[in-house]
Amino acid sequence: MKKHFLFLGIVIFATALSFALFNSLTKAQANSSVLSANNNIALQKVEIHQNDIQAELCIFLPSLEQWGPYATLIVDGKVISNSEVALINAKDPNTAKSQTRCYQFTFPVTVTEKMSKTAVLKLEKLTADYQGGLLTETGLVAIKKRLQETQPQIDFTVVIEKGKGGGGAYIQILAKPDGMSDDQAFQLIQQATIEEVPETWQEVVNLQ
Amino acid sequence: MKTHKLQPILTLTILAVLVLTLLPTNSVFAATCTGSGCNGIDPQGTTCWNDATIANWAWGSDGTMKNRNMYSPGCVSNWSYTLYPTATYLAAETVGVFRYEAPRTYTYVWNSMWDGSGLVCTRGYKGSSQGNYDIYSNSVCA
């Protein structure tokens, strides 16, 4: 009888453990999907205003992280960077759960009659704070580890200071190779804080 | 009262089953605060910071300074977050509510939270000293 109870307990425990591990594993796999360039981007609309042009793109993202897309608009050979990017339905809880998100890009262009009637809209890249960024505990550990792989001689810490009504943070370099300037070290640290996926999608849009 | 020898094992097993099945693997803990209850609270180091969405990005007139309109769905709150690649004088503003002007040079500056149940607009600033800003972003709302 005792053995039966013990066996039953072990079976229930093992089942629950397997369930929890499987659940965790499937979520991790869903977070690591790879973006396949052009098939995952769809232009929804383009709006022309007096002082800007807005374009809406829906993008299948590489993961559920907070990706920030960056786009350019080429008008008459001039490359205009987006000045604003808005996540559509940002406050809908389902938006963060979906790997496909839509963004409205704003390009500061004063529209004139002399302008070309078409432009090239180009999605240049997607960027995200690596592992949540420097201001989270897990992010800081991951970024330091990432930097160590290529720059083992650089060591740094992040100083966070709280003030009345807000706060600020800065990077303090603790060690760097001889001959490397602070600026170079900062640049390498900054690079390690960002995850970047280059994009090649582009489409001709009508400005009429 | 006589206690069965297997009782502690069974109790522990049932407890383990309950914990492992009921606790979500993406652990969701209670939010630090919600809505207007978050007004004036620093988001950094709270659950609000950790679940935040970047609702809107805006670049400054230099094309380098960035301002993010952050929104925490768990805390139903927004805040302004200004970034620059090197340490400089920055400010983060929730338009019409408050602006945090950092007293020294930083790479990242944020302000306190504000009720996100309605539309909240933010903007960022960069300058040569505290309160003296020549670069700023447009106001972006979410």
Say yes or no: A45 and A147 in one domain.
no
Per the structure, the count of domains in chain B is 1
User: Is B55 in Cβ contact with A87 (below 8 Å)?
Assistant: yes
Per the structure, the count of domains in chain A is 3
**Radius of gyration over alpha carbons of chain B, in Å?**
22
pLDDT in tens, B60-113: 999 999 999 999 999 999 999 999 999 999 999 999 999 999 999 999 999 999
In a domain, B135, yes or no: yes
Q: Rounded to a whole number, what is the distance in Å from the CA of B57 to chain A's nearest CA?
A: 5
CATH of the domain at A73: 2.60.40.2440
What is the SS3 assignment for B38?
A: helix
In a domain, B82, yes or no: yes
In a domain, B94, yes or no: yes
Q: Rounded to a whole number, what is the distance in Å from the CA of B37 to chain A's nearest CA?
A: 15
The range of the structural domain enclosing residue A18 comes to: 1-30
Give the type of residue at A5.
F
Cβ-based contacts of A162 with chain B (< 8 Å):
42, 44
- Interface check for A48 against chain B (CB to CB < 8 A): the answer is no
Q: How much is the mean pLDDT over chain A? A: 86
Give the angle A49-A42-B117 at the CA atoms, nearest 5°.
65
Say yes or no: A106 and A149 in one domain.
no
pLDDT in tens, A69-96: 999 999 999 999 999 999 999 999 999 9
pLDDT band at A111 (very low <50, low <70, confident <90, very high): confident
Say yes or no: A1 and A12 in one domain.
yes
In a domain, B45, yes or no: yes
Say yes or no: A161 and A185 in one domain.
yes
pLDDT band at A3 (very low <50, low <70, confident <90, very high): low
> Residue A4: its pLDDT value, please?
57
The range of the structural domain enclosing residue B85 comes to: 39-141
In a domain, B127, yes or no: yes
Alpha helices by DSSP H, chain A? 2-30, 93-97, 137-150, 182-193
Say yes or no: A46 and A107 in one domain.
yes
pLDDT band at B29 (very low <50, low <70, confident <90, very high): low
pLDDT band at A5 (very low <50, low <70, confident <90, very high): low
* Of residues A139, A153, A157, A123, the one with CA closest to residue A195: A139
In a domain, B12, yes or no: no
CA gap B51, B28 in Å, rounded: 10
Say yes or no: A93 and A139 in one domain.
no
